Amino acid sequence: MPYQTVKGGVCAPAGFLASAVSAGIKNPDAERLDLALIYSEHPCVSSGTFTTNRVKAAPVRVSHAHLRNNEIRAIIANSGNANACTGIKGLEDARTMANCVAKPLKIRRREVGVCSTGVIGLRMPMERITPHGQDLVDKLKPNNGTKVAKAIMTSDTRHKELAITTQINGKEVTIGACVKGAGMICPSMATMLCFVTTDAKVSRNCLELCLLEAVEASFNRITIDGDMSTNDTVLALANGAAGGSRIQRNTKGCRQFRDALEWVLTNLAKDIVRDGERVTKFVTVEVKNARTYLDAKKVAEAVAKSQLVKASWNGNDPNWGRIIHAVGYSRAPIREELIDIYYEDLPACIGGLVADTPLDKLREIAREARFKIVVDLNLGKSDYTIYTSDLSPEYIDFNRSEYAYWNQARKEGMVE
């Protein structure tokens, strides 16, 4: 453990407050936290990364716009409705969400980030949200981080948060974060929400670079089902409460901050995979010695996304034939006769041919809840690692139908 973990999630860094309420966004009769607010007592520098899906949810567009010319210092987030494919009214709704906390906080609307996650295509039930604006602000406390992590859950089975402290430039700084995500998870900004808070006094330049690099090494390296969502967002707020001189880009302090942030986000990314919908395995796919970084990435993604490979993992089957077939269609240059495939340290395939490891030894590894597949291309010097899961019959069953919910939503007038 290279860092000291601490409690508190997004409220662990100094000067961050949070609150969450049960607004009944998906179901007015259910009592569960589904609307949350994060607020920094001090002004922040801020940064964000967003889905690369060309169909972008309204809150993604609004948060992106707010970040472009402003520093945000508050985030309002909800689960139960994605506010995606909702057109101009959806944009108005997202702005109204920001406004309903900006007013009681006495800050500008543009200082508030907005994030939503849930069903696509339904209007936000604004009449259940705006009345809670004042309430959210009144309930702000410095120990409510976990409530935020809970309020953004959808098909997640557990809340996911992490906070660490580390020394940068002689000051103790704290980084806290929470994430949600369990389905529609795919590299290129995995389908998820993540909020990062820190009291480190970093420049905006430094924060932007560190966030991009940390997301590339963490959330962009996980895949559960290969489906990229419309709502993926990571927002990072740094309020400088730790003091000291400002950490500038391209300094040792900036690199230390990047490493710490990457460690936090990588651990949360792995948590997302472990909590993937109906997932039974956590599999690390390590591609070694590709000609280029992009080749290694293509091979790792082809293996990690193959339905047949993932089905075999679900069946505890050390089926290297399916792995090499995915390597072959990855479009990366490979030489079949040079490919080695390992389950942990045991060779299943050497030089493109079956290895002589006893099958029951490989089977023992494939039975584990977490194991590593190594694909050595023996062509160059580039490596890439991806974190993924099996694919279970239960996943398909779980995702067969949202019809009943839609039917109910129509009756309630959420569809116009």
Taking the least distance from each CB to a second copy, the nearer of 24 and 333 is: 333
Q: Cα–chain-centroid distance for residue 38?
A: 18
Q: Is 180 in the site for a second copy (CB under 8 A)?
A: no
What is the distance between the alpha carbons of residues 109 and 330, in angstroms, rounded to a whole number? 45
Report which of 388, 331, 374 is spatially closest to residue 186, judged by C-alpha positions: 388
Q: Out of 86, 117, 191, 284, which one is annotated catalytic?
A: 191
Largest CA distance in the chain: 70
The answer to whether 191 is a known catalytic residue is: yes
Q: Is 369 in the site for a second copy (CB under 8 A)?
A: no
Report which of 117, 108, 22 is spatially closest to residue 73, judged by C-alpha positions: 108
Confirm whether residue 191 is marked as ligand binding.
yes
Q: Is 3 in the site for a second copy (CB under 8 A)?
A: no
- For a second copy (CB under 8 A), the number of binding residues is 74
Q: Cα–chain-centroid distance for residue 361?
A: 34
Q: How far is the CB of 175 from a second copy (least distance, A)?
A: 30
Count Cα atoms within 13 angstroms, Cβ side, for 313: 29
How buried is 1 (Cβ within 10 angstroms: 0-12 exposed, 13-18 middle, 19+ buried)? exposed
Q: Is 396 in the site for a second copy (CB under 8 A)?
A: yes
- Count the Cβ atoms, other than its own, within 10 Å of residue 165: 18
Instruction: Characterise 181 by phi-psi region: left (phi > 0), alpha (psi -120 to 50), beta (else).
Output: left
- Count the Cβ atoms, other than its own, within 10 Å of residue 356: 7
Q: Is 410 in the site for a second copy (CB under 8 A)?
A: yes
Q: How far is the CB of 290 from a second copy (least distance, A)?
A: 13
Stretch touching a second copy by CB under 8 A, among 52-60, 159-167, 245-253, 372-380:
52-60
Q: How far is the CB of 63 from a second copy (least distance, A)?
A: 17
Member of 328, 338, 372, 380 binding a second copy (CB under 8 A): 328
Q: Is the dihedral of CA 323, 325, 330, 336 positive or negative?
A: positive
Token digits for 19? 């609150």
Stretch touching a second copy by CB under 8 A, among 169-177, 204-212, 331-339, 375-383:
331-339
Q: Is 416 in the site for a second copy (CB under 8 A)?
A: yes
Taking the least distance from each CB to a second copy, the nearer of 294 and 396 is: 396
Member of 306, 343, 365, 375 binding a second copy (CB under 8 A): 306
The secondary element (H helix, E strand) that includes residue 412 is: none
Q: How far is the CB of 121 from a second copy (least distance, A)?
A: 4
Q: How far is the CB of 112 from a second copy (least distance, A)?
A: 24
Taking the least distance from each CB to a second copy, the nearer of 56 and 160 is: 56
Q: How far is the CB of 99 from a second copy (least distance, A)?
A: 23
Q: Is 104 in the site for a second copy (CB under 8 A)?
A: no
Q: In 275-402, which residue ranges form alpha helices assigned H by DSSP?
A: 293-305, 307-314, 320-329, 359-367, 393-398
Q: Is 321 in the site for a second copy (CB under 8 A)?
A: yes
DSSP type of residue 202:
B
Q: Is the dihedral of CA 170, 172, 173, 177 positive or negative?
A: positive
Q: Is 157 in the site for a second copy (CB under 8 A)?
A: no
Member of 244, 325, 378, 382 binding a second copy (CB under 8 A): 325
Q: How far is the CB of 279 from a second copy (least distance, A)?
A: 13
Binding mask 75-94 for a second copy (x = CB under 8 A): ---------xxxx-------
Q: Is 401 in the site for a second copy (CB under 8 A)?
A: yes
Report which of 388, 324, 337 is spatially closest to residue 187, judged by C-alpha positions: 388
Binding mask 205-244 for a second copy (x = CB under 8 A): --------------------xxxxxx--------------
Q: Is the dihedral of CA 214, 215, 221, 224 positive or negative?
A: positive
Confirm whether residue 266 is marked as ligand binding.
no
Tallying the residues shown for the chain, one arrives at: 416
Stretch touching a second copy by CB under 8 A, among 181-189, 246-254, 256-264, 290-298:
181-189
Q: In 334-400, which residue ranges form alpha helices assigned H by DSSP?
A: 359-367, 393-398
Q: CA–CA distance from 384 to each of 216, 270, 285, 352, 390 (Å)?
A: 12, 16, 8, 20, 19
Stretch touching a second copy by CB under 8 A, among 72-80, 103-111, 262-270, 306-314:
306-314
Q: Report the binding-site residues for substrate.
A: 154, 180, 191, 277, 399
Active site residues: 191
